[in-house]
Amino acid sequence: MAELSTKERMAIKFVHMPLNKAELRIHNFEEVPVGYTLEQAKQEAQRCIQCKKPGCIEGCPVGIDIPAFIHLIEQGKVAEAAKKIRETNFLPAACGRVCPQDKQCQALCVVGKKAEPVGIGGLERFAADWEREHGTYILPEIPAATGKKVAVVGSGPAGLTAAYELRIRGHEVVVFEAFHRGGGVMVYGIPRFRLPLDIIDEDIHMLEKIGVQFVYDMIIGKVLTLDDLLVNEKFDAVFIASGAGLPKMLGIKGENSSGVYSANEYLTRIYLMQALKFPKYATPLYQGKRVAVIGAGNTAMDTLRTAKRLGADVTCYYRRTRAEAPARTEELEHAEQEFLNWKWLHNPVEIIADENNFVKAIKCEKMALSEPDSSGRRKPVGTGEFVVDDVDTIVFSLGCDVNPIIPSTDKEVRINKWGIVMVDQKTCQTSKPGVFAGGDAITGGSTVILAMGQAKNAAVGIDRYLKGELKWADANVPTDPNAPGVQWEGRFSAGKR
């Protein structure tokens, strides 16, 4: 087949990934996008003009060689494409589904300057699913044992990525997880209609096959301390990847009424604790008929859509407008298709309960946006006009703070005033010798791919430490409690192995 010219490639229309119909999907928990066929994937791959300076790679926190894997799909070499992605990304099927590509790789895609950017996320998902369905994945070879042992605390994307990166360098790795199963937010937060469970299970299974050990129902900081791990259990290093699972609330009147949840509790009950199968599983869920969800980020979209699937009339309350909603564009669009109600510029000020302390209404102040400030940001300001809506369940989806258990039980681990674990930005060393940290624990609530990128950085740091190349005296861990957590300023240095 003759090579297509850039002009011909640019003329090819964006291939939309087919979706299950909204009127049907709101009655089940099946995945919403159905994935590309081989023909659709090849056609979308043809839209990539194979740039000499590909913006997409710079936009990827783990530095996937995006043009290379897309070219392989175009040639029909899908197993090779998956292998190419796996050179830098250990969780491609999850990332193809949940990464904010619209703000990362696709935002910098050169084709996107004139037309719809190349559907990089959809193609990544296609290659990863193909690999799973055709069984083409080959386990990595593990080098001779180094004799060093690393404890990973938490089995979310950061913990799993670090476990993989350390294991393939020959170290013994044990993952300690507080819950009874692994995956972190990918299992207890992100709904099944966005990320099916078997995908995460297979990645964990793969880690087990290469010798990573998992210890579940183990809360580090409570049952075993960091010193127990380092001194008694003789681990040479510890990686804290305990995430950000401490829900934020508004502190308004009535917040303690029955029928008020944090999104974390609501989603964990449903997806991790199987409340949908009550009484077979002993997790009750008080699910009302009129549900108010407060916030407009990814978690809010997940909560709204979950409540809808449970048969409720569901409304989103957000104090800014749709344009400022922090959710991924695709998630917002999918939610908008699902017959939800939207109350933009509404700021909840009180929860009204009945005589038995059950939620009966929510009171909101209507807001307006100010003129842009020096940073260009428009603040929501109260108008003095209030509305009261009848609701019987309220779910706060306002983001989460870092899990406090480990820093609160080991004062050598320095945190800033927001509870974020302070680390050397290059090596992920904490203030406690032998202890590293990554993922949401060092950024505050963030994204799967950023958690993975930091975990890769940390794994490089841990490996160097275990080889005696990294000294604690050289670690640059901020001491100022006002110092921010780690920010992403481009691809992580350990993006490529």
Ligand X SMILES: Cc1cc2nc3c(=O)[nH]c(=O)nc-3n(C[C@H](O)[C@H](O)[C@H](O)COP(=O)(O)OP(=O)(O)OC[C@H]3O[C@@H](n4cnc5c(N)ncnc54)[C@H](O)[C@@H]3O)c2cc1C
Q: Are 94 and 195 in contact (CB under 8 A)?
A: yes
Nearest Cα neighbor of 189 from 28, 105, 305, 88 is 305
Helix boundaries (H) for 59-152: 66-74, 78-86, 92-98, 120-134
Q: Does position 90 bind ligand X by CB under 6 A?
A: no
Measured CA to CA in angstroms, residue 117 lies from 51, 114, 160 at distances of 13, 8, 30
Residue 155 three-state SS: coil
Binding partner of 399, given ligand SF4, ligand X, none, CB within 5-8 angstroms per partner class: none
Q: Does position 63 bind ligand SF4 by CB under 6 A?
A: no
CA distance 83 to 295: 38
Residue 88 three-state SS: coil
Q: How far is the CB of 119 from ligand SF4 (least distance, A)?
A: 9
Q: Which of 46, 104, 268, 298 binds ligand X (CB under 6 A)?
A: 298
Q: How far is the CB of 175 from ligand X (least distance, A)?
A: 9
Nearest Cα neighbor of 312 from 336, 339, 334 is 339
Binding partner of 111, given ligand SF4, ligand X, none, CB within 5-8 angstroms per partner class: ligand SF4
Nearer to ligand SF4, 14 or 386 (CB): 14
Nearest Cα neighbor of 185 from 487, 413, 441, 492 is 441
Site string for ligand SF4, 124-163 (x = CB under 6 A): ----------------------------------------
CA distance 17 to 243: 31
CA distance 388 to 386: 7
Q: Which of 17, 66, 230, 394 binds ligand SF4 (CB under 6 A)?
A: 66
Q: Does position 48 bind ligand SF4 by CB under 6 A?
A: yes
Q: Does position 73 bind ligand SF4 by CB under 6 A?
A: no
Mark the segment that binds ligand SF4 (CB under 6 A) among 47-55, 86-94, 279-287, 424-432: 47-55
Q: Which of 154, 407, 444, 495 binds ligand X (CB under 6 A)?
A: 154
Q: Does position 106 bind ligand X by CB under 6 A?
A: no
Q: Does position 406 bind ligand X by CB under 6 A?
A: yes
Q: Does position 49 bind ligand SF4 by CB under 6 A?
A: yes
CA distance 114 to 378: 29
Task: Looking at residues 98 to 127 of the shown chain, list those that interact with ligand SF4 (rule: CB under 6 A).
Answer: 109-111, 118, 120
Query: In the structure encoding, which two tokens stand for residue 277, read together?
Result: 């199968």
Q: Does position 155 bind ligand X by CB under 6 A?
A: yes
Cis check for the bond before 279: say yes or no (omega within 30 of 0): yes
Q: Which of 51, 218, 272, 405 binds ligand SF4 (CB under 6 A)?
A: 51
Nearer to ligand X, 72 or 494 (CB): 494
Q: How far is the CB of 47 from ligand SF4 (least distance, A)?
A: 7
Binding partner of 259, given ligand X, ligand SF4, none, CB within 5-8 angstroms per partner class: none
Query: In the structure encoding, which two tokens stand for residue 238, read together?
Result: 């510890």
Q: Are 494 and 457 in contact (CB under 8 A)?
A: yes
Site string for ligand X, 214-253 (x = CB under 6 A): -----xxx-------------------xxx-x--------
Measured CA to CA in angstroms, residue 368 lies from 252, 297, 379, 413, 475 at distances of 20, 19, 8, 42, 46
Binding partner of 447, given ligand SF4, ligand X, none, CB within 5-8 angstroms per partner class: ligand X
Binding partner of 92, given ligand SF4, ligand X, none, CB within 5-8 angstroms per partner class: none
Q: Which of 33, 55, 119, 445 binds ligand SF4 (CB under 6 A)?
A: 55
CA distance 129 to 79: 10
- Which residues partner with 447 through β-bridges? none
- Separation of CA 482 from chain center: 25
Query: In the structure encoding, which two tokens stand for residue 61, read together?
Result: 């926190």
Q: Which of 15, 32, 178, 437 binds ligand X (CB under 6 A)?
A: 178
Measured CA to CA in angstroms, residue 59 lies from 104, 120, 406, 488 at distances of 5, 11, 32, 11
CA atoms 17, 20, 22, 26: torsion sign:
negative
Q: Which of 292, 440, 458, 460 binds ligand X (CB under 6 A)?
A: 440
Name the site residues for ligand SF4 (rule: CB under 6 A).
Answer: 48-51, 54-56, 66-67, 70, 109-111, 118, 120
Contacting residues toward ligand X, per CB under 6 A: 98-100, 153-159, 176-179, 184-186, 189-190, 219-221, 241-243, 245, 267, 298-299, 302, 328, 403, 405-406, 439-441, 445-449, 451
